[in-house]
Amino acid sequence: MAPSIDRHGYWGRPTSTLDWCEENYVVSFYIAEFWNTVSNLIMILPPIYGAIQTFRDGLESRYIFSFLGLAAVGVGSWCFHMTLLYEMQLLDELPMIYSTCVFVYCLYECFKQENSISFFPIALLLIFSISVTVVYLQWKEPVFHQVMYGALVACLVMRSIFIVTWVYPWLRPLCYTSLGIFLLGFLLWNIDNIFCDSLRASRQTLPPGVGVVTQFHAWWHIFTGLGSYLHILLSLQIRSTYLKYRPKVKFLCGVWPTLHIEPQKMS
């Protein structure tokens, strides 16, 4: 990176163990990484709507927690990128582990009796979450967090592919769309990390409106937020289909996908 072009702002010197490729306090004195901050809206607003809709449909609370978990990640990431403070970094990274554990539980328990609770996987996921938290608080190594998060995502990918290959093949388009969008975000995240110096240099010569497009960490938020949201819809589709409900995909404002489930079971 090239810290010489970073500026000082409202939140003072960064204390986080990570400082991303976006130049600090360029757009706003009050927001350290403006584009990395506002891009989190995609992880906040749609999941809140999804949680409300899921509650209205009377579905199991685990799916409400899934949507709210994604929204919590978005709020934590907003606070982290706005301040670049270590405490806010934890508010971003640890909910990533917790919310993905909820995703894992939902997907691995999707073929169980309605409103059933399996305590063994809950205990395993709790032990995993607590262990990661304790280790990460003591060993402030971001790569450790990234590996643990990646392991959870790998569990989701394997389970999803198994279900759409052997159980509900008609859900393959949604599954692979979710996975593809998430992987695109991961690719851009890596490009942002590896080629940061070149990206920062290019922004000095490009018009501001064009330079914004090179904020690949912000694109990571957008694509992984959308991919995670679609994954929750996939999980809901699988669960509601197994319970013999009638899920219907509708598009909010003709653009954003939402899932509405009729409570009446098929005869």
Residues pairing with 163 in the sheet: none
Task: Calculate the alpha carbon distances from 193 to 21, 57, 75, 107 in Å.
Answer: 7, 42, 22, 31
Q: Is 263 exposed, middle or buried (0-12, 13-18, 19+ CB in 10 A)?
A: exposed
Tokens of 220: 């990571």
Least confident stretch, 27-36, 176-185, 209-218, 255-264: 255-264
Report the pLDDT value the prediction gives residue 2, as an integer from 0 to 100: 40
Tokens of 50: 């999804």
Report the pLDDT value the prediction gives residue 258, as an integer from 0 to 100: 87
Name the H helices within 42-195.
Answer: 45-56, 61-83, 86-108, 119-138, 142-166, 172-194
Q: Which residues are annotated as a binding site for Ca(2+)?
A: 19-20, 22, 24, 33
Q: What is the mean pLDDT of residues 228-240?
A: 96
Q: Give the pLDDT confidence of 77-103 residue by residue, as tens digits.
A: 999 999 999 999 999 999 999 999 999
Q: What is the mean pLDDT of residues 207-223?
A: 92
Report whether 6 contacts 24 (CB < 8 A).
yes
Q: What is the mean pLDDT of residues 142-161?
A: 97
Q: Which residues are annotated as a binding site for Zn(2+)?
A: 81, 217, 221
What counts of helices (H) and strands (E) characterise the chain? 10, 2
- 3-state secondary structure (DSSP) of residue 155: helix
Report the pLDDT value the prediction gives residue 210, as an integer from 0 to 100: 86
Sequence-distant (6+) residues with CB within 8 A of 209 are none
- Label the pairing between strands 256-262 and 246-252: antiparallel
User: Is residue 213 over pLDDT 70?
Assistant: yes
Confidence class of residue 246 from pLDDT cuts 50, 70 and 90?
A: confident
Residue of 62, 93, 63 whose CA lies nearest to 75: 93
| Distance in angstroms (rounded) separating the CA atoms of residues 257 and 81 | 27
Report the pLDDT value the prediction gives residue 3, as an integer from 0 to 100: 44
- CB neighbourhood size of 262 (10 A): 12
Q: Using the 8-state DSSP alphabet, how is residue 157 labeled?
A: H
User: Is residue 190 over pLDDT 80?
Assistant: yes
Residue of 34, 52, 100 whose CA lies nearest to 73: 100
Counting every residue, how long is the chain?
267
Tokens of 32: 């350290």
User: Is residue 153 over pLDDT 70?
Assistant: yes
- 3-state secondary structure (DSSP) of residue 142: helix
The CATH architecture of the domain made up of 34-261 is Up-down Bundle (1.20)
Q: Which residues are annotated as a binding site?
A: 19-20, 22, 24, 33, 81, 217, 221
User: Is residue 267 over pLDDT 60?
Assistant: no
Q: What is the mean pLDDT of residues 22-50?
A: 96
Percent of all residues in the chain with a pLDDT value above 90, rounded to a whole number: 81
Least confident stretch, 30-39, 162-171, 245-254: 245-254
Q: Give the pLDDT confidence of 7-32 residue by residue, as tens digits.
A: 788 999 999 999 999 999 999 999 99
Percent of all residues in the chain with a pLDDT value above 70, rounded to a whole number: 96
Confidence class of residue 235 from pLDDT cuts 50, 70 and 90?
A: very high
Report whether 36 contacts 22 (CB < 8 A).
yes
Report the pLDDT value the prediction gives residue 264, as an integer from 0 to 100: 56
